[in-house]
């Protein structure tokens, strides 16, 4: 059983889409999705610098479009993966892959999500800090002590604290024992109460979106559950903007389902790395460039 994973914000790097434009059909899809999102996705994925694609309103549509483009190359026609999951904004790509929404609906939703989250982040100066290592209970207690939120509980000894920059600075001066802290280059405290205005925006949009029940098994970030209906998944997508991402729970569900391999869509690396540490027996393929497609196809064939 193979899981297809779509990464979240922060995974993007300058030029990561360049090699994918050589694959027939990809440039055409990106041109169409550029019209849908109102962004020049080809430019942002090829020649834009790191600061430009750090912008939440750009990064989120760019990541979802890249994942969907690579998915369509890997699974042509009516083929679908066994299990699908996305990390944070990657859930929008996962929803389209699973057939819950159309690619265009996913991109409109992520366009508005990115804009709303960028606006919410501009209200108060906030940020995120990765906590690597340490005892989980001690890390969570330290995060709570400083009035921060464990915005991403990623498993494999990685938790991301989020909140006001003053609180993050105090946290850096008083870190949990045996833990390393790394400030993240993001625009704000995503998946915390600071994103409540963005949730309100998406709540107003959600009733107009046509949804269907997922085809493959579809995991959700709130608790790692397999979600059975499209309506339920869409509701969870909206609320997840201000709620912590429990990727650790998603990996727990992968284990319970008997997943034997994971393929991470571009810009790949982060989620496969977490799986390597948390689920070392899983076969892993990172789709960084089209050169990795044959490895991914071999893994899919072996998983049948």
Q: Would residue 191 show up in a list of annotated catalytic residues for this protein?
A: yes
Rounded Cα gap, residues 73 and 281, in angstroms: 27
- HEC-encoded secondary structure of the chain: CEEEEECCCCCCCCCCCHHHHHCCCHHHHHHHHHHHHCCCHHHHHHCCCHHHHHCHHHHHHHHHHHHHHHHHHHCCCCCCCCEEEECCCHHHHHHHHCCCCCHHHHHHHHHHHHHHHHHHHHHCCEEEEEEEECCHHHHHHHHHHCCCEEEEEEECCEEEEEEEHHHHHHHHHCCCCCEEEEECCCCCCCCCHHHHHHHHHHHHHHHHCCCCCCCCEEECCCCCCECCCHHHHHHHHHHHCCCCECHHHHHHHHHHHCCCEEEECCCCCHHHHHHHHHCCCCEEEECCCHHHHHHHHHHHHHCC
Encoding tokens for residue 195? 């994103």
Rounded Cα gap, residues 245 and 150, in angstroms: 9
Rounded Cα gap, residues 53 and 62, in angstroms: 8
Specify whether the CB–CB gap between 40 and 239 falls below 8 A: no
- Catalytic entry in 6, 65, 88, 105: 88
- Catalytic entry in 6, 105, 191, 242: 191
> Which active-site residues does the annotation give?
88, 191
């Amino acid at each position: 059983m193979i899981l297809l994973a779509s990464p979240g914000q922060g995974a993007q790097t300058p030029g990561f889409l360049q090699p994918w434009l050589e694959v027939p059909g990809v440039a055409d899809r990106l041109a169409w999705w550029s019209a849908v999102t109102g962004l020049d996705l080809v430019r942002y994925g090829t020649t834009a610098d790191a600061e430009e694609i750090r912008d939440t309103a750009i990064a989120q549509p760019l990541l979802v479009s890249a994942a969907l483009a690579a998915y369509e190359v890997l699974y042509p026609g009516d083929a679908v993966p066994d299990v699908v999951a996305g990390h944070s904004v990657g859930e929008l790509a996962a929803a389209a892959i699973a057939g819950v929404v159309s690619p265009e609906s996913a991109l409109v939703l992520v366009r508005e999500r990115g804009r709303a989250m960028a606006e919410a982040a501009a209200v108060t100066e906030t940020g995120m800090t990765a906590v690597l290592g340490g005892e989980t209970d001690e890390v969570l207690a330290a995060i709570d002590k400083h009035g921060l939120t464990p915005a991403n509980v990623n498993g494999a000894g990685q938790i991301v604290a989020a909140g006001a920059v003053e609180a993050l600075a105090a946290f850096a001066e008083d870190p949990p024992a045996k833990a390393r802290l790394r400030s993240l280059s993001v625009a704000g405290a995503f998946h915390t109460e600071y994103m409540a205005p963005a949730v309100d925006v998406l709540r107003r949009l959600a009733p107009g979106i046509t949804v269907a029940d997922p085809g493959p098994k579809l995991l959700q970030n709130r608790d790692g559950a397999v979600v059975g209906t499209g309506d339920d998944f869409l509701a969870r997508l909206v609320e997840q903007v201000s709620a912590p991402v429990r990727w650790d729970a998603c990996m727990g569900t992968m284990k319970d389902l008997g997943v034997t391999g994971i393929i991470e869509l571009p810009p790949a690396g982060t989620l496969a790395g977490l799986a390597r540490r948390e689920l070392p027996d899983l076969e892993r393929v990172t789709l960084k460039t089209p050169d990795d497609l044959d490895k991914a196809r071999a893994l899919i064939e072996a998983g049948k």
